[in-house]
């Protein structure tokens, strides 16, 4: 992003309407790119520049987030200028009206000229590894975080304990002062307090006046039952302290979940593969199945084919609210690699007497 977005009409460059959908924008770009490509215009010295402009327009308008920012820039910029050939509508225009202020174009361009008193602290990220069982059941786990915290000696004031910390008389505590230049009014950090909004008689000897220090800390995080791999937990107010006494940011804990040797997860259901013998599949049986809550008995009907899935109710993921999932057990019939002669003879007799139908006749 840059300020010349105010002067560049990307919609006009691609010859599309402002409400054009992505398919229309892509089609217009391909048409113009083929027409303006320097290889197709070896005798035109301006072709490369026009091709570059079209490519820039497409790179912005084809990205949903950048297109939204571009539209906001153009809209706010147009509101700040008069209607007479780009002249100013009257008197002075504050530069932050174009490139400053919360939610304005300045936020898009990161066009900050310094502090304005207390500011919110930055968010802090951490990663927490969980076992499969912990992710399903939920747990409370410690998370190690290293970063800026409020200075323990001065409690964030930046001043040595017992010495006064006064509101800056030059800026009134805002941390900024205004200066005029032609049509524009600039807002700059206060030269007296350096943008802090306060004057410190004696800086804290532990943090040097910043109000912050780097320290390792451990925070216990409650993990709700059923959390998924890659989820992020936001702990409000547990991030970095805010500059100049502002509120702290948040702690963002990204969760990674390890694999289980038996179970996999599918939504709120758990899945597993269960080997059974040839005779259990043919004759039926009651087999022991492990769940996260302990063993249960599963009835295998006679004639069960390999790959059949059975559902054990309420043995899946249990969330804080809502119905628990199930355990889906898929049986795999195991066939012995070698058979004794007597067993082989019995199977051959069974085949000759009972296997009269061809199971592949329909193929």
Q: How far apart are CA 363 and CA 358, in angstroms?
A: 10
Last residue of a domain, one of 80, 109, 138: 109
Residue 214's CATH number: 2.10.230.10
Residue 118, in any domain of the structure: no
Q: Mind listing the pLDDT tens digit for each residue in 24-67?
A: 998 998 898 888 877 778 788 787 788 888 888 888 898 887 88
Q: Do residue 150 and residue 232 come from a single domain? A: yes
Q: Do residue 176 and residue 280 come from a single domain? A: no
Q: Do residue 174 and residue 231 come from a single domain? A: yes
Torsion of CA 304, 306, 311, 315, to 10 degrees: 130
- Count the neighbouring beta carbons within 10 Å of the beta carbon of residue 11: 19
Q: Do residue 209 and residue 224 come from a single domain? A: yes
Q: What is the mean pLDDT of residues 332-356?
A: 88
Contacts (Cβ under 8 Å, ≥6 apart) of 29: 14, 54, 55, 57, 58, 62
Residue 82, in any domain of the structure: yes
Rg (CA), the chain: 35
| Residue 89 confidence (pLDDT) above 50 | no
Q: Give pLDDT, residue 244.
A: 66
User: 173-182, 269-278, 350-359: lowest mean pLDDT where?
Assistant: 173-182
Q: Do residue 152 and residue 252 come from a single domain? A: yes
Tokens of 125: 């990220």
What does DSSP assign to residue 245?
G
Residue 280's CATH number: 2.60.260.20
Q: Do residue 197 and residue 129 come from a single domain? A: yes
Structural domain range at position 26:
3-109
Q: Give pLDDT, residue 355.
A: 82
Q: Do residue 243 and residue 276 come from a single domain? A: no
Q: Do residue 135 and residue 197 come from a single domain? A: yes
Q: Which residue has the tokens 């949903």?
A: 64
Residue 362, in any domain of the structure: no
Q: Do residue 161 and residue 219 come from a single domain? A: yes
Cβ contact 61:25 at 8 Å: yes
Q: Do residue 79 and residue 141 come from a single domain? A: no
- Count the neighbouring beta carbons within 10 Å of the beta carbon of residue 271: 16
Sign of torsion, CA 264 267 269 274?
Answer: negative
Residue 291, in any domain of the structure: yes
Q: Do residue 84 and residue 40 come from a single domain? A: yes
Tokens of 59: 């790179």
Last residue of a domain, one of 55, 86, 109: 109
290 vs 47, higher pLDDT? 290
Residue 229, in any domain of the structure: yes
Q: Mind listing the pLDDT tens digit for each residue in 248-272?
A: 889 999 999 999 999 999 999 999 9
Q: What is the mean pLDDT of residues 287-297?
A: 95
Q: Do residue 63 and residue 128 come from a single domain? A: no
- The number of folded domains in the chain is 3
Residue 50's CATH number: 1.10.287.110
Residue 116, in any domain of the structure: no
Residue 363, in any domain of the structure: no
Last residue of a domain, one of 51, 78, 109: 109
Residue 312, in any domain of the structure: yes
């Amino acid at each position: 992003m840059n300020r010349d977005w105010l002067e560049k009409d990307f919609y006009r460059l691609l010859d599309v309407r402002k409400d054009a959908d992505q398919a229309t924008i892509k089609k217009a770009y391909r048409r113009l790119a083929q027409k303006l490509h320097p290889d197709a215009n070896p005798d035109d010295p301006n072709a490369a520049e026009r091709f570059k402009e079209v490519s820039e327009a497409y790179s912005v308008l084809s990205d949903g987030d950048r297109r939204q920012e571009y539209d906001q820039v153009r809209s706010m910029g147009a509101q700040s200028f008069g209607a007479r050939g780009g002249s100013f509508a009257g008197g002075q225009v504050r530069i932050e009206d174009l490139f400053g202020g919360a939610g304005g174009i300045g936020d898009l361009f990161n066009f900050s000229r310094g502090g304005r008193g207390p500011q919110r602290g930055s968010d802090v990220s951490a990663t927490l590894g969980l076992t499969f069982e912990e992710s399903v059941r939920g747990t409370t786990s410690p998370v190690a975080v290293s970063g800026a915290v409020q200075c323990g000696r001065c409690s964030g004031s930046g001043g040595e304990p017992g010495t006064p910390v006064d509101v800056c008389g030059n800026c009134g505590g805002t941390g900024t002062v205004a200066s005029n230049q032609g049509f524009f009014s600039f807002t700059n950090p206060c030269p007296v307090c350096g943008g802090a909004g306060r004057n410190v008689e004696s800086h804290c000897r532990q943090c040097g006046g910043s109000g912050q220090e780097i320290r390792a800390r451990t925070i216990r995080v409650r993990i709700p039952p059923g959390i998924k791999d890659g989820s992020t937990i936001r702990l409000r107010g547990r991030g970095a302290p805010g500059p100049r006494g502002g509120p702290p940011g948040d702690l963002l804990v990204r969760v990674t979940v390890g694999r289980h040797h038996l179970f996999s997860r599918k939504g709120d259901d758990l899945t597993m593969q269960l080997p059974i013998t040839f005779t259990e599949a043919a004759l039926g049986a009651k087999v022991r199945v492990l769940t996260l809550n302990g063993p249960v008995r599963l009835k295998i009907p006679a004639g069960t084919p390999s790959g059949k899935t059975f559902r054990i109710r309420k043995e899946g993921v249990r969330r804080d609210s809502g119905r628990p999932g199930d355990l889906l057990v898929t049986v795999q019939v195991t066939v012995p690699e070698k058979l004794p002669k007597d067993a082989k003879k019995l199977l051959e007799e069974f085949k000759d007497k009972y296997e009269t139908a061809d199971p592949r006749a329909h193929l």
